[in-house]
Structure 1
């Protein structure tokens, strides 16, 4: 298991280096001048030149890259070109809302979608199966912002059970945190519930006709144990893949949800940075997202090995 883990970690390092180089070149070679954005429309050529010297934009690209990469390895992602705030500080201020939203959403997704998918596979062709599949189509079809506004209208405005918008840290109280995270988490998880329910159904259907399932039933094993211990465990690899990828997608794609519910997370930060061409912030956020994908894939690989020992070799 340790050797398998080391191989996966070593394979991830070149991926991160390639992503870092690609992001750096993509931003530097695209049209636009960050010095002109900082200085404003009325800046003189001397002022622009001075800003480029301070930011190191006049140095060769390879030197800029290695200076930036060296800082990243030391935990220094640079200073925001507009706010003059350390990038790591800005990310730290926005990280908790996004991670909290993604974690609660993926928990909702797993708790709802996996049992629904197993039940749909168990009652293949029945009303439960048809209901789950129909609901999944609806979940795919409705945009997240529409679901968000509907939830706000029902639970915040008409019933007045929950706050309309905003975010509270869990350190300010579990009740305050839960009341403000439940609606955006439900809105964000809807499409993933539909996706994972369908994937779970398809995966479990693929193993329900196997010999070991028939053997377990012949021995008198109860149906819940057959479904959730034998069938689901052997069908878990594609399901774990979708759940892990879904979590990474939630973290990197929460812009709409954060906007609808006025949550000050990473999604809004990266939109603001792109519009302002704030290179250090954009680079740090994209590299952070890539690192998250690599970490999630590593955890998925570990879960494969724990679920099916044959994968370790």
Structure 2
């Protein structure tokens, strides 16, 4: 296990280093000038050049990359051009909305998908299985933003059970804050559950055909006990892998749902910063999202190795 952990950690560091170069390089080739955007089209070339010098935009690419990545490693994310404030607190404020939203959506996804996947696997080929697969197929086809608008119309406009948008802040109380996140979490979580349901069902059906399952049944263990005690634990590797990818996607890909519900999340910050040509904010936010994705996959790999010893033996 120690060798496996070391190999995965080295791969984690190498991936983060490569990702930082890609993020910086891609944003560097984008057209436009941040100083020109901030001063407007009527600014003189001298004024634009002076502001570019103040912001360090006239320095070499390698110098700017070294300054950026060095600041990130020290915890200094720099200063936002558009907001004229430190980027670290700005990201933390938006992450305080996006992270709980992703966690709540992931809880919904996991609860719905595991229950529906196990239900379908138990009734393979029967009407219950067909109904679950049909519902999951519809979920795969429904866009997040359309489902979000439908939830607003039904639960906020028609039934008035939840707010239609906005976020009161955590200082307004846990109940009000979670109430503002429940519809966005449903819009994200139920659509993601369609994918995880199909993966859960497929993984369980593969395990249910194994010899040790037939042995457990031959020893007199009930079908339900065999499913929960033997089949599901052995089917967790592909399920955990997909869950890790989905959680990272819920944080990084919630921008459309955040706009529908006017949530001040990380996705909206990235979108606004791109429009304002506030590249340092974009670089920090994208690098943070990349680090979250890579970090989540790292912990998923460790969890899968802890569950399945065969993964550890392959690293030896």
Which TM-score applies when normalising by structure 2?
0.95
The equivalences for 1:74-113 within 5 A come to 74-113=74-113
Give the CA deviation at 1:140: 1.1
What do residues 292-312 of structure 1 show as CA deviations (whole Å, max 9, x unaligned)? 011111111111022112322
Cross-structure match for 1:206:
206
What do residues 38-74 of structure 1 show as CA deviations (whole Å, max 9, x unaligned)? 1111111111111111111111111111111111111
Cross-structure match for 2:243:
243
What do residues 243-267 of structure 1 show as CA deviations (whole Å, max 9, x unaligned)? 1100000100001111111111001
Give the CA deviation at 1:162: 1.6
DSSP 3-state at the match of 1:206: helix
DSSP 3-state at the match of 1:207: helix
* C-alpha distance in structure 1 between counterparts of 2:118 and 2:169, whole Å: 35
The equivalences for 1:186-197 within 5 A come to 186-197=186-197
DSSP 3-state at the match of 2:207: coil
DSSP 3-state at the match of 2:154: helix
* C-alpha distance in structure 2 between counterparts of 1:108 and 1:168, whole Å: 22
Q: Is the 2:112–2:190 contact (alpha carbons within 8 Å) kept by the matching residues of 1? A: no
* C-alpha distance in structure 2 between counterparts of 1:128 and 1:260, whole Å: 34
The 3 A distance-change label for structure 1 pair 137 and 16 is same
Cross-structure match for 1:215:
215
What do residues 147-170 of structure 1 show as CA deviations (whole Å, max 9, x unaligned)? 112111221222222222122445
Cross-structure match for 1:147:
147
**Aligned CA-pair RMSD:** 1.4
* C-alpha distance in structure 2 between counterparts of 1:300 and 1:244, whole Å: 6
Cross-structure match for 1:63:
63
Give the CA deviation at 1:173: 2.9
Which TM-score applies when normalising by structure 1?
0.96
Give the CA deviation at 1:6: 2.7
Cross-structure match for 1:230:
230
Mean alpha-carbon deviation: is it higher for 182-191 or for 263-272? Answer: 182-191
DSSP 3-state at the match of 2:209: coil
The equivalences for 1:267-278 within 5 A come to 267-278=267-278
Cross-structure match for 1:173:
173
Give the CA deviation at 1:171: 5.3
* C-alpha distance in structure 2 between counterparts of 1:2 and 1:211, whole Å: 31
Mean alpha-carbon deviation: is it higher for 167-176 or for 222-231? Answer: 167-176
Q: Is the 2:38–2:82 contact (alpha carbons within 8 Å) kept by the matching residues of 1? A: yes
The count of residues paired between Structure 1 and Structure 2 equals 313
The equivalences for 1:285-304 within 5 A come to 285-304=285-304
The answer for unaligned runs of 5 or more in structure 2 is none
Cross-structure match for 2:26:
26
Give the CA deviation at 1:228: 1.9
DSSP 3-state at the match of 1:225: helix
Give the CA deviation at 1:172: 3.7
1:124 lines up with 2:104 in the alignment: no
Give the CA deviation at 1:224: 2.3
The answer for unaligned runs of 5 or more in structure 1 is none
